[in-house]
Structure 1
């Protein structure tokens, strides 16, 4: 498998290619990419054109305080790092999807517009990303009764033909996902870390091969856990779904903040499981 010139350009401009992240010049953030991509579209330019010749000539008239021409040229000059990283990822079965791909999730585009991620890394059945479904979220340290509830909820959703959308973290997320998969349902896992490693784990391998599972991330596929990344990815769980259930949450933290953001943005209807603790 190879990646298109357009995807290569988006990778160069928005992706990290190593764990260290000590780059003096940072890749474009989703908001920065949204601004830049909109300008390119207005000028009838495709990202891949920036890799041909001198990008400065094509970007005549582009003015932005943070996305300077020097920054763009530096990022586009990371070809060797791109080649090494993508060879490793493709060999491991990962794929990359950009906003210009026809199968990019419509819910992301419609609900987040220019804030939708420029790039998705993933493994498994990418067609599932447009199926919607029930988002199930909750604490990593939920009680056993909440884990059983999450598992049963996943099985029930699968039995009724709905996908489960969750974050893949231990606790509520994983229980709901595995419950649905056990019932031969379909699952979208939106990961905050370690996509490359998790795609090869035994608990998910057979479901990936059966096309019942898609695991995706907006982050570097080899990134370790980061609380900031976990908080940031929560929005995508809601946006990719049609409705959401919070099984267990404290009054602060990622689950709480993600639910509040969904309520504020009115992405999908939200239910909360009653609990005494």
Structure 2
């Protein structure tokens, strides 16, 4: 797989390649890139065009409180780091998708508009990103009954021809995905970390080879766990699906905040499993507007 010059420019502007990508040279956030990309479009410029020519001249008239021309120039000057990373990622079977690609998930654009991630890294059947499905979310540490329930939901979705969309984390997420895949169904895993490692994992190998699975992440494929990234990716799980089911939520944390954000934004209908666990936030989510499952 080759990566177009336009995709390379977007990667340089928005992706991390190492720990040195911080401070003044921190890659553009989705919001920052959204503002910048819109300005480029209005001035008939593509990100690729910024790789050649005088940057000061090309960006004449551009003004932004955080995205200065000097910062853009420093980010575009990371060609060697990009080349080394891309060689490693592509050799491992990963692909790169940018917001300008025709098969970029349309649901992300519809729900998040300019806040949709500029770049997605992934492996597996990228067509599944536009197939919708049921988002299944829940805590990492749950009862055995909840794990059995999660697996059964995956199987039922498979039998109904519906993809499972989840975060791939241990607990509810992974169990629902494996339940669907074990029943010869399909799944979309939106990972917050360690995409490169997950794509070579034995538990996913068969499903990836049979085009029943796509693993995707807006973050560096080699990034380790980061609480901020885990919280940020929750919205992508909801926005890639047609409906969502929360199996178990705490009264704080990722599942809780993601469900609250969906209820506030109205991305997709949210159902919540009933539970007698006094430590769970399920009842509070139902009281906030979610539907009982």
Q: Does 1:180 align with 2:150?
A: no
Unaligned runs of 5+ in 1: none
Give the length in aligned residue pairs: 277
Q: Does 1:224 align with 2:206?
A: no
Q: Does the aligned pair in 1 maintain the 2:24–2:71 contact within 8 Å? A: no
For the structure 1 residues 132 and 3, does the alpha-carbon distance in structure 2 shift closer, same or farther, using more than 3 Å as the test?
Answer: same
Q: Does the aligned pair in 2 maintain the 1:19–1:223 contact within 8 Å? A: no
Q: Please list every run of at least 4 consecutive aligned residues from structure 1 whose deviation after the TM superposition is greater than 2 angstroms.
A: 19-24
Deviations 1:126-156 (A, max 9, x none): 0000000000000000110000000000000
Q: Does the aligned pair in 2 maintain the 1:19–1:222 contact within 8 Å? A: no
RMSD: 0.9
Tell me the equivalent position of 2:78.
78
Determine the C-alpha separation between the residues in 1 that align with 2:171 and 2:213.
18
Structure 1-normalised TM-score? 0.98
Tell me the equivalent position of 2:159.
159
Deviations 1:151-170 (A, max 9, x none): 00000001000000000000
Structure with the greater relative contact order (CA < 8 A, sep ≥ 6): 1 or 2? 1
Tell me the equivalent position of 1:138.
138
Deviations 1:68-99 (A, max 9, x none): 01000000010000000000000000011001
Query: Counterpart of 2:215 in 1: which secondary structure?
Result: strand
Determine the C-alpha separation between the residues in 2 that align with 1:135 and 1:123.
19
Structure 2-normalised TM-score? 0.93
Determine the C-alpha separation between the residues in 2 that align with 1:239 and 1:44.
29
Higher alpha-carbon deviation: 86-95 or 18-27: 18-27
Tell me the equivalent position of 1:262.
262
Determine the C-alpha separation between the residues in 2 that align with 1:173 and 1:6.
34
Determine the C-alpha separation between the residues in 1 that align with 2:109 and 2:209.
28
Q: Does the aligned pair in 1 maintain the 2:21–2:27 contact within 8 Å? A: no
Shift of the alpha carbon at 1:125?
Answer: 0.4
Shift of the alpha carbon at 1:232?
Answer: 0.6
Tell me the equivalent position of 2:42.
42
Tell me the equivalent position of 1:237.
237
